[in-house]
Amino acid sequence: MAVATSLFAQIPADYYQSAENLHGYALRVALHQIIKNHIEEDYGELWADFYSTDARPDGKVWDIYSDNPNGQAPYLYTFGTNQCGNYDSEGDCYNREHSVPQSWFNGADSMYTDLFHLYPTDGWVNNKRGNLPFGKVGNATWTSLNGSKVGSCATPGYNGQVFEPIDAYKGDLARSYFYMAVCYMNKNMGYGQSMFNGGSLKPWAQQMLLSWHALDPVSQKEIDRNNAIYGIQANRNPFIDFPELVNMIFGSDTLQPFVTAVDDYALATCSLYPNPTADYVHISITALDEPLTCQLYSLTGQILWSTTFSEAENMTISLEDFPSGIYLLHLQNGAHQTIRKIVKR
């Protein structure tokens, strides 16, 4: 059955309206105003929050420091039962990892309990990471059972010890950091060996996280987590809802205005299925009164495919030669336009 899918599913109507048509620093400020005033949890409540924000499909704890996306995880945790406590080795228990270490922001304000940068992770691995920056490890001094590493930094611009998560979660953590750099842009997260200078990312960290964002596109896990946290904190991570915002604020597209383009007419003219998909996506066009231009973009802004429909029509786009990730379909129908997200698995 054809199901019309929209980039705006689960996003409240007009949530991002005040950021419309802005770009660069003004866009960052507008997003800051939208997401900053969220509900602050008590630290003890996070254990229960993880049940909805970080559950694997099998109901176990989704630990990004132990998960093995390509096979069997070295160990699995049960919510509540395996909560830390004491630990002496990897696989003992899970705790609450501040991906932006609390020592960097001196334990201040709502950063301490903000779920967008807090994850349930193995206690021993969390301890090994400590307050180290993230980075590319050159020579590893320690490696976890899923391949996360501690060692000397091979990322240009920083000398010292770093922690490197596996590739499958580098994008997740990058988008957590971009969120923090917007939500707390007026705070100081720059204590100690921080990746931040005040409320902004240091240049070396920003460049590395931009590459991690491109390496590991938004996953269904992140989409579900974003929606779950919205139900708890009443705010969202814009870089999960609109991955293109990363480059519009921190990358090379700072002159590009942000347009959510929620247009009921344009949404009514186009259905996409299946989505998510593996190798292809069908486009079903109906109710045209003037030509509809369709352009498929990568997240880096490259046009991968383009056509114009002059009448109601069905078409199939092959995605066989494209890597897994997020693609954006831009639809222009006279004065009406919208953007649809296509997820290739």
Per-residue pLDDT at 93: 98
**Are residues 109 and 38 part of one domain?**
yes
Residue 172 lies in a domain: yes
Residue 136 lies in a domain: yes
Amino acid at site 23: H
Residue with tokens 């190798």: 279
* Confidence category of residue 42, pLDDT binned at 50, 70, 90: very high
Of 295, 285, 278, the residue nearest 340 (C-alpha) = 295
Whole-number average pLDDT of the chain: 89
Per-residue pLDDT at 267: 47
List, for residues 267-277, the tens digit of each pLDDT value: 445 677 787 88
Residue 4 lies in a domain: no
Q: How far apart, in whole angstroms, are the C-alpha atoms of residue 28 and residue 341?
A: 22
Residue with tokens 């020592």: 103
**Are residues 189 and 123 part of one domain?**
yes
Per-residue pLDDT at 315: 81
Which of 216, 249, 282 represents a domain boundary (last residue)? 249
Which of 249, 275, 295 represents a domain boundary (last residue)? 249
Residue 208 lies in a domain: yes
Residue 9 lies in a domain: no
* Confidence category of residue 8, pLDDT binned at 50, 70, 90: very low
List the single range of 3-12, 87-96, 219-228 with lowest mean pLDDT. Answer: 3-12
**Are residues 292 and 143 part of one domain?**
no
200-201 and 94-98 beta bridge pairing:
unpaired
How many structural domains are present in the chain?
2
Tokens of 44: 């003890």
**Are residues 130 and 33 part of one domain?**
yes
**Are residues 271 and 220 part of one domain?**
no
Q: How far apart, in whole angstroms, are the C-alpha atoms of residue 215 and residue 107?
A: 31
Residue 16 lies in a domain: no
Residue 206 lies in a domain: yes
Helix pair angle (220-233, 46-53), 10° resolution: 140
* Confidence category of residue 10, pLDDT binned at 50, 70, 90: low
User: Which residues on adjacent β-strands are paired with residue 280?
Assistant: 318
**Are residues 332 and 226 part of one domain?**
no
Q: Could you give the 3-state DSSP secondary structure of residue 138?
A: strand
User: Is the whole model's pTM more than 0.85, yes or no?
Assistant: no
List, for residues 292-318, the tens digit of each pLDDT value: 888 888 877 788 989 888 877 788 888
Cα 75–Cα 171–Cα 139 angle in degrees, nearest 5 = 70
**257, 23 Cβ separation under 8 angstroms:** yes
- CA 169 from centre of chain: 9
Amino acid at site 226: N
Q: How far apart, in whole angstroms, are the C-alpha atoms of residue 147 and residue 160?
A: 20
**Are residues 216 and 309 part of one domain?**
no
**Are residues 159 and 277 part of one domain?**
no
Beta-carbon contacts of 57 under 8 Å, excluding residues fewer than 6 positions away, are: none
**Are residues 279 and 243 part of one domain?**
no
b/e code 140-172 from CB counts within 10 Å (16+ = b): eeeebbbbbbbbebebeebeebbbbbbebbbbb
Task: Give me the CATH number covering residue 321.
Answer: 2.60.40.3080
Residue 71 lies in a domain: yes
**Are residues 268 and 129 part of one domain?**
no
Q: What values do phi and psi take at 48, rounded to 5?
A: -75, -35
Which of 190, 224, 249 represents a domain boundary (last residue)? 249
**Are residues 124 and 37 part of one domain?**
yes
Q: How far apart, in whole angstroms, are the C-alpha atoms of residue 85 and residue 94?
A: 8
Q: How far apart, in whole angstroms, are the C-alpha atoms of residue 277 and residue 281?
A: 7
- State which residues form the domain around 79: 24-249
